[in-house]
Structure 1
Amino acid sequence: MADKPKHMPPHGMEPYDLGGDDNLGALSQEQQEKLNKFKVKTRMENEKYLRDHPEVECLIAGFLGDVLSQRPEQIKDFAAEYFTNPELPEQLQQQLQLRQTRIKQNRVLQKI
């Protein structure tokens, strides 16, 4: 009889694929542990990258904001126009400056 995992999947990740009573699923216990470590490492690397590149957050937030406010019929065409807009770098710079201002304001408010 196969052993069931003695631990839960990493926080926020899908539960294990337990095939049944006598079957852990596709991965052995050792493979599942290696996969968990890989997932945690990848998540940490992704979060570090996003912290080091706040422009990614601004790009995504700006794009999603425009999609939700304008609700385009052809999302692919809209995305192509959005990301090839020659004014996008300037808009992104303004969003980054606004973000920095808000971060500074929040720090000041937290000290009060």
Structure 2
Amino acid sequence: MARPQRFPPHGMEDYDLGALSDEQQAALSSFKIKTRMRNEDYLRTHPEVEILIGGFLRELLLRRPSNVREFGASYFTHPDLAGAVKQKVLEQQKKS
């Protein structure tokens, strides 16, 4: 049976080792690796994503709102957000 060589399951049940053929399992593993590599490349070339997520998490943990969805909607639609992110990107570029 095809055994996944990487990325063990994160859920409560083990892999269904008979669900995929060896070829299908190899293709799936290759797809996962390529997808992770593309995602990492994207994140490296777009520092604003880390700034957005990090800023949101920081504010979320500092304020601890009772309604996280409402807080998130307010945070990501704030009119000053784009300017603040641009400023942080420029600050990071100056440091490096």
Please state which band the TM-score falls in when normalised by the shorter chain: 0.7 to 0.9
Aligned partner (choices 10, 14, 19) of residue 8 of structure 2: 14
Alpha-carbon deviation of 1:96?
1.1
Alpha-carbon deviation of 1:84?
0.6
Aligned partner (choices 47, 57, 70) of residue 50 of structure 2: 57
Looking at CA atoms only, which structure, 1 or 2, has the larger radius of gyration? 1
Q: Which residue of 1 aligns with 2:82?
A: 89
- The unaligned stretches of length 5 or more in structure 1 are 105-112
Between 1 and 2, higher relative CO (CA 8 Å, sep ≥ 6) is seen in 2
CA RMSD, 1 decimal: 1.7
Q: TM-score, normalised by structure 2?
A: 0.84
Aligned-pair identity in percent equals 47
Q: Distance in 2 between matches of 1:27 and 1:60?
A: 36
- The unaligned stretches of length 5 or more in structure 2 are none
What SS class does the counterpart of residue 57 from structure 1 fall into?
helix
Q: Distance in 2 between matches of 1:4 and 1:63?
A: 41
* Number of corresponding residues: 92
Alpha-carbon deviation of 1:98?
2.5
Q: TM-score, normalised by structure 1?
A: 0.73
